[in-house]
Structure 1
Amino acid sequence: MQKITPNLWFNGNALEAVTYYLSVFNDGKILQTNYYPLNEQEGLPDFNKAYSGKILSIEFEILKMHFIAINANGPFLFNESVSFMIPCKNQTEIDYYWNALTANGGAESFCGWLKDKYGISWQICPENWNELSKKPNAFNKLTQMKKIIIDAF
């Protein structure tokens, strides 16, 4: 069992985001959904009263990894200081994840990095990167790419 679970803070659109990830990762599934208490119940802070009875968090799994999507407002945004790496078997798999995660508002970065439409950073890499990185000029070639092209090494 996974001992560390990433909690991803979405600003009021956790269900939309989880639905999106389940469409990209065909092995994905929702494990559990939790809801904010109703207004009349004690303990709901004033800043979250607008969420009364709505989704608080969604536990989900993609690529056999457990995540929690938190549904709340706040100043928190994703940035490149945290990313998720997807080791891919071949170029077809790299192309699939690259295209799916940059579609509809995602953005290419460099060296196999991208941001999806929610701002989460991903590294889409060949699973044999250690082997490829030992080829002549591999690092220089990598720094010239956005999406990694395996045959370029």
Structure 2
Amino acid sequence: MIPKNTICLWFDGTALDAATFYAETFPDSAVKAVHHAPGDYPDGKAGVPITVEFTVFGIPCLGLNGGPHFPQTEAFSFQIATDDQAETDRLWNAIVDNGGAESECGWCKDKWGVNWQITPRVLTEAYTSPDRAAASRAFDAMMTMKKIDVAAIEAAVRG
């Protein structure tokens, strides 16, 4: 069954590689189907994978091998809420150590250019806290980080 709403990510011939990595890395993720081009098109030949149906944490996605015309940007990212430092480290390291790159404040980019926010729940709870002083301390601590350090956020909340 075709979902009512699907996230479509544009790739330059690497949609299946990316979808396979996501399925191997993230829970509740899978490659669902690979569709091959029925004819030649501007950036590919008949028979090559043109779309890949996959899920990331249960979210339906479609990888489109559309060519080099529209690279990924930070205007789109997956935000993944993690439960602890171990999960944060595992997901962050899987992305960064597989050809990705670190960014600021819990953001990183995978080797296909897709952006990820690996965000411990403790951070979101801290900066949305009704205790605005604690929220400010947690926010200030986050602003100094690349990968989020859960213990440092918890220490900032405590003051």
In which range does the TM-score fall when normalised by the shorter chain?
Answer: 0.7 to 0.9
What's 2:156 paired with? none
Cα deviation, 1:73-106, whole Å, max 9, x if unaligned, reads 1311001111110000111110011100111321
Residue 54 of structure 2 is aligned with which of 42, 56, 60?
60
Specify the alignment match of 2:31 in structure 1: 30
1:152 is matched with 152
Partners of 2:148 and 2:15 in 1: CA distance:
30
Give the 5 Å matches for 1:119-134: 119-133=113-127, 134=129
- The aligned residue for residue 7 of structure 2 is 6
Question: Map of 1:1-153 to 2, 5 A cutoff?
Answer: 3-38=4-39, 44-45=40-41, 47-48=42-43, 50-133=44-127, 134=129, 135=134, 137-153=137-153
Determine helix, strand or coil for the equivalent of 1:57: strand
2: distance between equivalents of 1:140 and 1:2?
40
Structure 2 contact 107–118 (Cα < 8 Å) conserved: yes
Q: Distance in 2 between matches of 1:21 and 1:130?
A: 24
Contact 1:103 1:117 in 2 (8 A): no
Q: Which residue of 2 aligns with 1:41?
A: none
Kindly report structure 1 stretches of 4+ aligned residues shifted beyond 4 Å.
none
Identity %: 37
**Structure 2 residue matching 1:27: 3-state secondary structure:** coil
Shift of 1:142: 0.6
Moved more, 135-144 or 19-28: 19-28
Contact 2:8 2:64 in 1 (8 A): yes
Instruction: Name the CA distance, whole Å, in 2 between partners of 1:85 and 1:149.
Output: 16
* Greater shift in the superposed pair: 131-140 or 86-95: 131-140
Give the alignment's TM-score, normalised by structure 1: 0.86
Offset at residue 2 of structure 1 (A): 6.4
SS in 1 for 2:62: strand
Give per-residue Cα distances to partners, 1:32-81, cap 9 Å, x unaligned: 2211114xxxxx54x24x42111110101121111001112131100111
| AA partner of residue 149 (structure 2) | I
- Give the letter aligned to residue 23 of structure 1: E
